[in-house]
Amino acid sequence: MQIWALGHYQRIADLIAAMARDLVGTAGIQPGQRVLDVGAGSGNAAIPAARAGAVVTALDVTPEMLDLGRAAAGDLPIEWVEGDAMDMPFADGTFDVVLSCFGAMFAPDHDATAREIVRVCRPGGLIVMANWVPDGNIGRFFEVLGKHGPAPATGPAPTLWGDPEHLRALFPGQPVECERRFVELEFSGTVEELVALYESSFGPVVAIRSALDDAGRAAFHRDLLDLFVAENEGTTGGPGRWRYPWLHVRIVTS
């Protein structure tokens, strides 16, 4: 999906890089394990998994994201594979651990994606995911994008992956464990600086802005500004602070 190649995605990924490292830590990655990162983007989860000694494959549908990952990984032995989470180019039971850090949730067909995640994970293997929740900051952020951008594609919202009941329906017969957690953005600038970062660097925002006229861009900017002001937990006159809820998902495959 070329929309994710617009802007400077790595700047956005860096905002939650620490959370991705923590996610890998909760998976208890061991040296030599075969690990897949689904919807790997620029490698926020794949890279720390490789540093833990795992044999890592990073899958993403956008080649430009894989290029960013390769550059960030340096000499780490990660296999970067262009492919679709809904139809992965791997044999059954290939991986000991399947990770997804806000990646698989953006595949349009939730059921197909879940089936593929289970299929490529060996029996008794581990699936660990980080998914945005529908009632949190990111859900409201997507509402703003939907107000100013084109009509969303048909199908379930990506943030439904952050609903435990939706997940249990996606993974029938699997022991789905869920825990709601928070990630604090690694950003201490002003509200205006955070909006500017998204406007210049986050592909979906860049795409929407490019399709609007001057008045439309001004209205979009105001709505983003209002959203980030309302969600700023920083002190008055001090640096900003933004905390986003997400769902930690753990499944030991049967």
Domain total for the chain? 1
Q: Is 127 a domain residue?
A: yes
Domain-located, residue 229: no
Q: Radius of gyration (Cα) for the chain, nearest Å?
A: 18
In a domain, 107, yes or no: yes
Q: Is 233 a domain residue?
A: no
Residue 89 confidence (pLDDT): 98
pLDDT along the chain (254 residues), means of 10: 86 94 96 98 96 98 95 96 98 98 96 98 98 96 94 80 98 97 94 96 96 98 97 88 97 96
Task: Give 211's contacts (C-beta < 8 A, 6+ positions apart).
Answer: 149, 150
Q: Does some domain include residue 216? A: no
CATH classification of the domain holding 183: 3.40.50.150
**Is 200 within the bounds of a domain?**
no
Give the predicted TM-score (pTM) of the model: 0.94
Residue type at 186 in one-letter notation: E
Alpha helix segments (H runs only) across the chain: 9-13, 17-26, 46-51, 63-73, 110-120, 137-148, 164-170, 191-201, 203-211, 214-230
Residue 42 resides in a domain: yes
Cα–Cα distance, 91 to 123 (Å, whole number): 13
Range of the domain at 115: 2-135+153-187+241-252
- Would you state the pLDDT for residue 150? 85
Q: Evaluate whether residue 146 is within a structural domain.
A: no
Distance CA 46, CA 97 (A): 11
Q: Return the SS3 of 4.
A: helix
